[in-house]
Structures are given as C-alpha cells and as structure tokens.
C-alpha cells in the first residue's frame, strides 16, 4: 500500500487500475486498519476522480458473491442514504412498482446506517430473506422480476472497510458508493444522492461502468430520492451522453408536498407504509413513490417521458401487480427458510 499512499499524500491521482489494485489488497488480511484509514482520508483530502471511484467499485464487485447469469435490461434504484430526511423507504417501495411495470429490478441495499430504517430492515420485517444464495436470487429475478441483494451478504469481504468507516466518523467516498457496487450486471440505474455537487461525477462513473442509461438525481431538500417538495436536479446519461434537467412534481401532474409529510419510523412503521402504498392508499407517500418509480421506468426505457413513467407506475399499483411482486418474494423466502431447516 505504501506506493498508493505516497501518491495520495503527494496529491497525485491514482489510475483506475491502481485504485482497483489498492482496494483489492484491502480485501486481504495483509493491510492494517491504519492503512485503510489513510487510504480513505488520502482520497478524500485530494478529491476523488472518476477513475478512482470506478476502480474502487470494480474491486468491490470482483470480491463479491458470484452471479453467473446475465439477465437483460436489469435496473437498480438504490440511493446513497445520508440525507437526514428520516423518510420512509421510498426506493424500496418504488422498486416493487417498477417490477410491477415489467422491469427486472436487482434491488441492492443495506440495513439502516444514517436513517431509522434501511431497505434490509423493512424487507426483513415483511418476511423477505436477506441471505439467499446466488442461484436462488437469480431464479427469483427470472421468475418474479425483482430480488433483493443484501450488501453485507453479497459483499462478504467488506467488514474491514465498514469497521474503519464507522470509526473514522467522517464521510468518505465509501459512504456514497454503495449503489454503484451492485454485483449484478446492470444495464440501467437510477441513483439518488444527497450531494448535488456529485451528480456529474457519479454519472461519469456509471458511464465508465457501462450503463446504457442512467439517471443520477438530487431531490428537493437535498434528499437522495426525488421529492415532491420542489425542484429535483437530475443528470441523465443516455448512450454515453450526459444532459442535465430539472424536474418539478407539477411537471408530471403531482402536487407539491413538504418533505415532512413523508417521514417514516422504525421497521414496523415503514413496512406498514410500504404495504399501504402498494395496496393503493392515496396520499403523499404514494405520490412520492409514483414520482420515483416513474423516473425509474423512464430510466429503463419503458416510458418515453417521466410523465408516461408515472402513468405506468399508477397502473402497476392499481392493478395489484406491484403488491404481487412483494408477495412472491415473501413466499419464496418462506419456502427457502423451510427447506434449510
């Protein structure tokens, strides 16, 4: 690690290959926690480049569980977290709506780190298994169109990084790259981030990672989800070309609602909100999901505009298709648990 740390100390950028090699070493038992911390702080102090972020991501994906099948037209809609909004699980709820609209969703997520309830917490409360083997996950994706990939399960070597990250108690690039590290081969991605200044760099990283199309957004109120509270800043990546747009909820027929109206609670409360939305209950939570799912449906190329994406999201909920995707996942989890007992 000395070579890489000396370069960072001298404010020199690492190449993508160098970064990938450095992070690959971190996943061995040869690197001390102090060296890991120095690497994180060195990148943060210098400022991370697209190549460095892509190198970290590729190293993490190479050290993840192996998934053999390449399913076409897959998307993930995981956000970075860390926005402090205490909202209910918007992206998780939206994922089922997207799946109900006929999109294959490899939903990557974790337990709560900066909020009350992470995607893993709420899905576990609903009865979804977090530790399914890769072959079962792939089977579910093929049959159901949505499966959950629990980050600590699919990234078993990440414990040392997580330990140092928590002990540092300051944000580094490892606080933001979770959504980029999905081990499945994605064609599309909807990525929410609470940092408006990082939209372009994350879009460039997604381009480096080979996404056909992606949307990186920062919601009104600095949320890592699209918000009904006002203007949402988006960078759209399409065929390697970046464009920047602003989306207001009224542009797609939705009313303005303050972010305080979508505050969630613990896993039990957020599970109830998720179910209520998928069962068709009207209100701010539903409309927030319609906005985010609509953007996701547009990102995956199943709608020509976000407005059309919102219409398809409405159909997914009101037809019962979205709820059916959740029920399948719960039933499959119960069957797996019974089989391994």
Annotated binding site for anthranilate: which residue ranges? 79, 110, 165
| Cα 101 to Cα 312: distance, rounded to the nearest angstrom | 6
Annotated binding site: 79, 82-83, 87, 89-92, 107-115, 119, 165, 224-225
Largest CA distance in the chain: 58
Helices (H), 101-247: 119-126, 134-144, 151-154, 159-168, 199-208
| Cα 88 to Cα 278: distance, rounded to the nearest angstrom | 13
Residue 16 near residue 56, CB atoms below 8 Å: no
Residue with tokens 């609670």: 265
| Cα 212 to Cα 234: distance, rounded to the nearest angstrom | 16
Q: Six-digit token pair at 258?
A: 């303050």
Q: Six-digit token pair at 20?
A: 């990938």
| Cα 325 to Cα 95: distance, rounded to the nearest angstrom | 10
| Cα 127 to Cα 209: distance, rounded to the nearest angstrom | 33
Q: Six-digit token pair at 223?
A: 């949320």
The H or E element containing residue 93 is: helix 90-100
Non-local CB neighbours of 164 within 8 Å, separated by 6+ positions: 33, 36, 37, 40
Annotated binding site for 5-phospho-alpha-D-ribose 1-diphosphate: 79, 82-83, 87, 89-92, 107-115, 119
Q: Six-digit token pair at 109?
A: 């997520």
Annotated binding site for Mg(2+): 91, 224-225
């Amino acid at each position: 690690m000395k070579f890489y740390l000396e370069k960072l100390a001298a404010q020199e950028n690492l190449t993508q290959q160098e970064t990938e090699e450095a992070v690959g070493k971190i996943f061995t038992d040869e690197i001390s926690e102090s060296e890991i911390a120095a690497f994180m702080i060195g990148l943060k102090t210098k400022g991370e480049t697209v190549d460095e972020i892509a190198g970290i991501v590729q190293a993490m994906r190479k050290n993840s569980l192996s998934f053999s099948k390449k399913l076409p037209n897959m998307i993930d809609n995981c956000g970075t977290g860390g926005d402090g909004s205490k909202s209910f699980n918007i992206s998780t709820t939206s994922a089922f709506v997207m799946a109900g609209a006929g999109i294959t969703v490899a939903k990557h997520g974790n337990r709560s780190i900066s909020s009350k309830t992470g995607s893993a917490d709420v899905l576990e409360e609903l009865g979804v298994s977090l530790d399914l083997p890769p072959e079962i996950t792939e089977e579910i994706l093929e049959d159901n169109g949505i499966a959950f990939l629990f980050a600590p399960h699919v990234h078993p070597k990440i414990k040392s990084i997580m330990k140092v990250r928590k002990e540092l108690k300051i944000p580094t690039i490892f606080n933001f790259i979770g959504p980029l590290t999905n081990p499945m081969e994605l064609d599309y991605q909807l990525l929410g981030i609470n940092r408006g200044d990082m939209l372009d760099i994350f879009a460039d990283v997604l381009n480096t990672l080979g996404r056909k199309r992606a949307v990186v957004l920062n919601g009104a109120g600095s949320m890592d989800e699209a918000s009904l509270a006002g203007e949402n800043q988006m960078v759209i990546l399409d065929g390697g070309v970046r464009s920047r747009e602003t989306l207001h909820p009224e542009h797609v027929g939705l009313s303005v609602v303050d972010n305080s109206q979508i505050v969630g609670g613990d896993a039990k409360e957020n599970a109830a909100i998720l179910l209520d939305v998928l069962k068709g209950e009207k209100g701010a939570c539903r409309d927030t999901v319609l906005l985010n799912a609509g953007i996701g449906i547009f990102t995956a190329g199943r709608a020509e505009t976000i407005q059309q994406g919102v219409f398809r999201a409405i159909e997914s909920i009101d037809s019962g298709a979205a709820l059916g995707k959740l029920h399948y996942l719960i039933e499959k989890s119960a069957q797996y648990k019974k089989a391994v007992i």
